[in-house]
Structure 1
Amino acid sequence: MPPSPSNSYQLLPVSSFPSMPRFARKGRHPSFPRIPLLVLILFPLSIALYILYKLALISNAFRTYEVNSPVFSEPFRGTGEEVEGRADEFPAWVTSDKNNVEVTVWNIKTELATRLQNMGLPESSVSCQGILSGQRNSPTFLESRYSHLFPLEEGDQPSPYISEPQGFYFALNLFNSKGIIPHLFQTLLTVAALLGPSNVHISIFENGSWDETVPSMAHFARALTALGVAHSLRSDSHSTDWSNVDRIEQLALYRDVAISSLIHYNPSDPPLFDSARAHKDSPHPTLPTDLIFINDVFVCPADILELLHQRRFQGASATCGMDWRVAPEGSLWGWLDGWLGENYRFYDNWVTRTIEGWPTRPRVDIFAELRDGIRELFHWDSSTSSLNRFRAALPLPVYSCWNGMIVLNALPFLPSHIPSSDPTSSATTPIKGGHDIHFRHGRTDQGECAASECKLVARDFWGVGEKKWVMVPRVAVTYREEAYKAEGDRLEVWPFYTEGPGSNSTLRHNWNQSSSHIPWEDIF
């Protein structure tokens, strides 16, 4: 055999090897670009990691409460102080024409708007449909619809829904709310004037705001005084560290401050309603019949009046509207805003449960922001009755709701017993309908699931027999002004459901749709 070359096992320099193609031979198949390849790999991977992250958060939350209760700081229990003294009284000309209520209300609203604008608050561009025609013999549709809520005038017929004096207790919690205040306060003044100033009590609690919320509240308090509405507007400078407290327990305490006059009712305290302004033909209320709790939302007078009307028409324990937001938004899909067309999504899915106990839509849905936010609701119930009523824009029964604004039977929040009017006696007097209900967090140490303070109110109401909870789809509120598009008697989001050719359904607002009773006898 011939000898092997001396360099047969010698390593060749790299330069001597032919260049290698990336994925295929040159000239036969084009090489695949690297950036699109990375996108194809990383995008689904990031989606998968996001889903796992969300599932881990949910799993950890349940494990935290079920296995090892979290350790929180004690919640803040302050009640603040009245803010009215921080603003000047309204000038005398505002209420000079006491015989003309409409002129007085207009003057008060104008003075308040001027003060808020001088503080730099934005003027609201939301327009609301008027309620009164100004002509007794030709009332508007809404005036006729809600007339049973208004104080009786000479010659009026008694309401078929009302057999006792009506007291309306409004409660709100605010925080850095200057963007919503100009519109919200005007709405409250309008509704208070319609319901009768002597029949209304407004309570607001704020804490920790650093914008113009507190001075705005002070001016609003002066406006309520000029109108003759009993009120309590309180503020506390304490700023909440939400990362260090049980969020639900703290929110429950803040809501309780707003209704403290109810849950701590005592006949020896100042009256809840200003009897000095009572209408001569209307009985004066002593106890409230309705608790109207409103979030920091854009809402028109007709929205509030419709919930009050439906609570009486349906014989309900509570009535709520629906709160909406524009989608998509959020860290994952928010960048698509403006690309996919206008879409509305129901906001308060965490609290709301159908009459069968289901959420109105799936709680975990990675593509939720891209779905039609209206068409997806009420598909979980085994019965189609809720879905049918929802799509027909009719009030429907639910287990629980809140949805930015709710009207509740006020009596269950009152104490079951109150002290005797005799200061020397230790005896107590029972209040019919009083059940000592208040806002609270879940009693996880007793096996109760963690839940929103608003959902637990529904649970406690059901526990004392207050089971008739109603969602009124035609009442639509939003948290952003641009999402609330009121044009006369129409809202963009409600109420008529139509299957359109596009990807999104359309809901039209038409107050002339006749109401329909809920068949409670078929439910309970």
Structure 2
Amino acid sequence: MGGLEVRGPKYQSMESALRLVGSKINWKPAQRHLVQLVIATGGLLLTVWLYLNLAPALPSSSSSSSSSSSSPSIMDQGIQTHNQTQCIDFDPAPVSEKLHSTIKLEKYTYNNEDISEFVCSIMNHDMNLTAKLDCSASIDSRYGHLRPSPSASPRIQYYFALDLYQAMHIILPLMGTIIETMRYLGPEYCALSIVEGRSTDGTYAILAGLKTELAAMGVPYFLSRSYLDPKASGENRITALSHLRNLALEPLIEEGNKKHGRLSANSTILFINDIVLCPEDILELLHQRVLQSATMTCAFDWNANGGSFYDSWVSRSMSGNLFFEVTHDSQHWLADDMFFDHPDSASRWDHSLPIQVYSCWGGMVTLDATPFIQGKVKFRSSEKDECYMGEPMTLAKDLWGQDLGKILAVPSVNVAYEYDRARDAKDKRGYVDKIVGHTQYSKEEEMVKWQKAPPPQVKCMPVFGRQWWTTPV
């Protein structure tokens, strides 16, 4: 219904009556035209009258805008229920062994009791019962500035985003650490978005079971499923991964484009892979982003025994080269020679100080949310005329293209993708609290001297056996 086509029964009956009168009287041509004009004018005036009287019930552009701005925020809608927690006084110790034994099974059907135990074990997580990591028992005052000042109308400042598939093997320490970090930062300032895909190990059931608990905390929670398989035959893996990452950011972007949304103007994205980590790992990345005014900060993820850096395919130093040299036969025997062709970065690496890089990921990143909300950048695959590279590298390239090349790799944050690998990585490479608390960790030297221009060339490596140099932007 729109424009002047609003015609009610009253108008229709009056118009019919006028037409009937006109048809019964034998008028001269001029008089007949005059009557027709009167009828048309009367019909028009009646239509205008009806339109003006019906207008309050119709959506105008101004009322639509007002309605949109006053409608419930998507972040508020993300809190689907305000039920109280079901996990009060839950002791995860007695069920820890049972949960671990079921995780190891190739096929296991979890009943409602199992799901409840998993959920409550996450909400009352104890790293000593799961990954056996020596995480700090308390949060250092170093991170106190990350906690927003109390507000009557709190705004979302931290947006946690994950894409998970078959994650049961690490779901307890992963989600437990995220929940613990949210409690420290303030649940009312956090939101969580997870895209789960095709899992058959119970991952989705556990994530769905967290809804009530997160609602009780006051955390907006967006859980969706995607059956897109990045490894499917004929599928472009990077295109698929980019789509899944963008999908996890959709609630953030929708909220950020609302006129009166709950999103803070300086909000941060925390994209976390299926890793094992401590709360300090997340907080240190956030701390460095704020301290250094960085656009992006990255962790370091490690292979078995903490021996070689995992994300070498998508990481480039300020020399434009890989973090360590990978030979053309894909061997990592030079993995200990990190930042081998960039002396300043190598020196900072030796002292575990933050390092400016061209690109990185490392299993976990923090990102300035603004360029995503404004549509300046998104996760994407390579264009036809570009080097084939992973979505973290195309993101870095686009950030540099927007003069947002403040990208930081943080050596004090060491993570991995399995319990034993995480223990090995932290035992060999260090825990955050022990590194930043060491007397040799200079707070003056901690500050980076930002290089505004990207490297003149960047190593293109579609596969380890094919490497060449290309222009970065």
Question: In 2, distance between residues paired with 1:358 and 1:268?
Answer: 41
Letter in 2 for 1:350: W
Question: In 1, distance between residues paired with 2:208 and 2:360?
Answer: 31
1:468 alignment counterpart: 406
1:164-221 residue CA offsets vs partner (Å, 9 max, x unmatched)? 9771111100011100111111011111111111111110001111111110111122
Matches within 5 A, 1:168-207: 168-207=158-197
Question: In 2, distance between residues paired with 1:460 and 1:112?
Answer: 47
2:341 alignment counterpart: 380
Task: Report the CA distance shift for 1:222/1:287 in structure 2 as closer, same or farther (over 3 A).
Answer: farther
Letter in 2 for 1:443: E
Deviation at 1:89, TM superposition (A): 8.8
**RMSD of aligned alpha carbons:** 3.7
Letter in 2 for 1:494: R
Task: Report the CA distance shift for 1:312/1:450 in structure 2 as closer, same or farther (over 3 A).
Answer: same
1:315 alignment counterpart: 293
2:302 alignment counterpart: 324
Contact 2:306-2:421 at 8 Å conserved across structures: no
Task: Report the CA distance shift for 1:238/1:377 in structure 2 as closer, same or farther (over 3 A).
Answer: closer
Letter in 1 for 2:360: C
Give yes or no for the alignment of 1:229 onto 2:235: no
Letter in 1 for 2:392: C
Helix, strand or coil: the match of 2:308?
Answer: strand
Q: Any unmatched runs of 5+ in structure 2?
A: 1-76, 97-112, 123-128, 455-473
Task: Report the CA distance shift for 1:238/1:518 in structure 2 as closer, same or farther (over 3 A).
Answer: closer
Contact 2:79-2:219 at 8 Å conserved across structures: no
Letter in 2 for 1:510: I
Letter in 2 for 1:471: A
2:72 alignment counterpart: none
Matches within 5 A, 1:421-436: 434-436=374-376
Deviation at 1:376, TM superposition (A): 2.0
Matches within 5 A, 1:147-186: 147-152=144-149, 167-186=157-176
1:451 alignment counterpart: 389
Task: Report the CA distance shift for 1:131/1:313 in structure 2 as closer, same or farther (over 3 A).
Answer: farther
Question: In 1, distance between residues paired with 2:291 and 2:194?
Answer: 28
1:342-385 residue CA offsets vs partner (Å, 9 max, x unmatched)? 5511000011100121111223354735x363x2211133xx10
1:406 alignment counterpart: 365
TM value normalised by structure 2: 0.65
Matches within 5 A, 1:51-200: 94=87, 116=115, 118=117, 124-130=130-136, 132=138, 142-152=139-149, 167-200=157-190
Contact 1:317-1:408 at 8 Å conserved across structures: yes
Give yes or no for the alignment of 1:295 onto 2:256: no
Give me the identity figure in percent.
28
Task: Report the CA distance shift for 1:91/1:201 in structure 2 as closer, same or farther (over 3 A).
Answer: closer
Contact 1:484-1:491 at 8 Å conserved across structures: yes
Question: In 2, distance between residues paired with 1:239 and 1:522?
Answer: 38
Deviation at 1:471, TM superposition (A): 0.6
Helix, strand or coil: the match of 2:196?
Answer: strand
Contact 1:394-1:473 at 8 Å conserved across structures: yes
Aligned partner (choices 302, 314, 317) of residue 351 of structure 1 = 314
Contact 2:324-2:340 at 8 Å conserved across structures: yes
Please identify which structure carries the higher helix content: 2
Task: Report the CA distance shift for 1:387/1:303 in structure 2 as closer, same or farther (over 3 A).
Answer: same
**Number of residue pairs the alignment of both structures matches:** 348
Question: In 2, distance between residues paired with 1:454 and 1:402?
Answer: 6
Question: In 2, distance between residues paired with 1:111 and 1:204?
Answer: 29
Helix, strand or coil: the match of 1:491?
Answer: helix
